[in-house]
Amino acid sequence: MAENTPDLTLAERQIAEVISRTDKTLAAAVSCALEDATKQAAEDMRAIGQEDAVPAMKYFAAVVHQRMYCLMCGADPDTFEGGNPETAYHVIRNSQNIAKHYWSADVEPYPAK
């Protein structure tokens, strides 16, 4: 794979490093926020005697996913209005490709436009 990698200038390498470092920081912050939300929900449910009603972390991850999908597509995450269907198509197709390639999902990605 390295033989297909273009030689980057110093500036390009620095930019890539900053973006990579920021990506990792963001991912860690989101993971922490999901853990915190789950813990807070558990505490709040316990306070009202509803320990069995605590949503799983996957619930909160799905909430974040939906809001980020709207953001990526240019839609209002509260009303779903204003999204770009072309962007939505590409985001969904990318998810399908990841599932098929990395997880052997039995899915045929949308055809390329």
Report pTM.
0.80
Whether residue 16 contacts residue 8, with contact meaning beta carbons closer than 8 Å, is answered with yes
pLDDT at 56 over 70: yes
Q: Do residues 77 and 66 make contact, with C-beta atoms less than 8 angstroms apart? A: yes
The CA distance from 18 to 84, in Å, is 29
pLDDT at 5 over 80: no
Mean pLDDT, the chain, whole residue set: 94
Gyration radius of the chain over CA positions: 19
Helix, strand and coil percent figures for the chain, each rounded to 5: 70, 0, 30
Q: What is the C-alpha separation between 73 and 84, in angstroms, rounded?
A: 5
How much is the pLDDT for 1? 47
Q: Any idea which residue has 């997880």 for tokens?
A: 103
Q: Which two three-digit tokens encode residue 48?
A: 């009202």
Q: What DSSP state is assigned to residue 110?
A: P
